[in-house]
Structure 1
């Protein structure tokens, strides 16, 4: 059987199996190309956040099935990283290599459907991991709010030195403020205690007064003429 006949028969079988999923890109030999639209939803009545759709594109070279078909996948770019998509295509090519000289489109499509089940599980696991990571980060942020800075010997001594310095500064400031407030309003005792030289001020004033007092001796010249009665005791 020629390659053209083999491809024609396989295409007819695929149309019967995937009547709703198959779309033609080119139907004429030797450039037969089509895509099969698949999705991850097992039950049409149930949808979940892990559902996705994809298209498997197969192109038959003229000498297919003696060589593997061209294999491309579209629709997973927003769901999985390119590295994961390349791995899927590599696995499908390996399946094709194992089935050379035989119609292999159905086998490739079935292998991809099995991969879809694994992809769904991977998505669920990744979402669960993302939820757990988010919760862990939130809990960690809350713990940090209440933990504050961890204290060790070095950090405590540094804090105490800073605290003592601040307290000394506050006490000195308070004393200076009190002295400023009392300036000019001190009692005699307070002034005496603050400046001992003030205790000599009264003596100095008395001495200065004595030096400046002048006595008029003429007032006492007639003292002998005064008749001063002596007391009985005298």
Structure 2
């Protein structure tokens, strides 16, 4: 009876997957499963072509009372996909079919297995896309926070204010010290000019002889000029 059910199932599968199924022997075949993925416009590294995987099915003599023998492989020359690899994901996908196999034991189950496998692989890629999108979002937010720091000052707290005040007072003290040193240096450099004294000859030449004592050299030039003008 097992063989009859196998032949009947194989005929049904041929009508469902006319272009996807290929016989290997009377009890063994493979089905090409192309995944359906929604467009991910936010992902620059996503390939345009959704991935495809090959499900290998071999009937044991007692199938469907015994689980089919399954295997997965990628198509030949398949382009790598950034979110899916048959070689890396095969074990996880096959483990995910174990529950479906147990639920359908005693019944033709290959179509159900193909459906479950396709959904599981698409969900796996969707989860990885979500993780990648979250990572991109967090990176953008982190970059935005760093950029915003350029436009915001340090929040004022009692600790930051005290640090600012101490630095400000030190700066003012240093400025005052420099100003005092500069003033002192200017005073040291300043020279007091001595008044110019006229000789007796110079007094005579200016017509001031007799108006002042020629021996008195204490009268500066400025006062002599004044006397001359008044004369």
Scaled to the shorter chain, the TM-score interval is: 0.5 to 0.7
Q: Which has the larger radius of gyration?
A: 1
The residue aligned with 1:11 is 10
Q: Which runs of 5+ in 1 are unaligned?
A: 189-234
CA RMSD of aligned residues (A): 3.9
| 1:108 aligns to 2:113 (yes or no) | yes
Is the CA contact 1:58–1:69 (under 8 Å) kept in the aligned structure 2?
no
How far 1:178 moved relative to its partner?
3.3
The residue aligned with 1:141 is 146
Is the CA contact 1:95–1:108 (under 8 Å) kept in the aligned structure 2?
yes
TM-score, length basis structure 2? 0.58
Paired with 1:85 and 1:169, the residues of 2 have a C-alpha distance of: 74
Q: CA separation of 1:53/1:80 partners in 2, compared to 1, >3 Å: closer, same or farther?
A: closer
Is the CA contact 2:93–2:121 (under 8 Å) kept in the aligned structure 1?
no
Paired with 1:10 and 1:172, the residues of 2 have a C-alpha distance of: 101
Q: CA separation of 1:106/1:171 partners in 2, compared to 1, >3 Å: closer, same or farther?
A: same
How far 1:105 moved relative to its partner?
0.6
The residue aligned with 1:215 is none
Is the CA contact 1:56–1:71 (under 8 Å) kept in the aligned structure 2?
no
Paired with 1:106 and 1:171, the residues of 2 have a C-alpha distance of: 91
User: What SS does structure 1 have at the residue aligned with 2:13?
Assistant: helix
Q: CA separation of 1:145/1:67 partners in 2, compared to 1, >3 Å: closer, same or farther?
A: farther
- 5 Å-filtered alignment, 1:1-234, equals 1-3=1-3, 5-24=4-23, 26-29=24-27, 32-40=28-36, 49=41, 52-63=50-61, 64-73=63-72, 78-79=82-83, 88-115=93-120, 118=123, 122=127, 129=134, 132-187=137-192
How far 1:124 moved relative to its partner?
7.1
User: What SS does structure 1 have at the residue aligned with 2:169?
Assistant: helix
The residue aligned with 1:213 is none
Instruction: Determine which structure has greater relative contact order: mean sequence separation of CA pairs < 8 Å that are 6+ residues apart, divided by chain length.
Output: 2
How far 1:27 moved relative to its partner?
2.6
Q: Larger % of helix: which?
A: 1
How far 1:109 moved relative to its partner?
1.3
How far 1:66 moved relative to its partner?
2.7
Aligned length: 180
User: What SS does structure 1 have at the residue aligned with 2:114?
Assistant: helix
Q: Which runs of 5+ in 2 are unaligned?
A: 75-79, 194-231
TM-score, length basis structure 1? 0.57
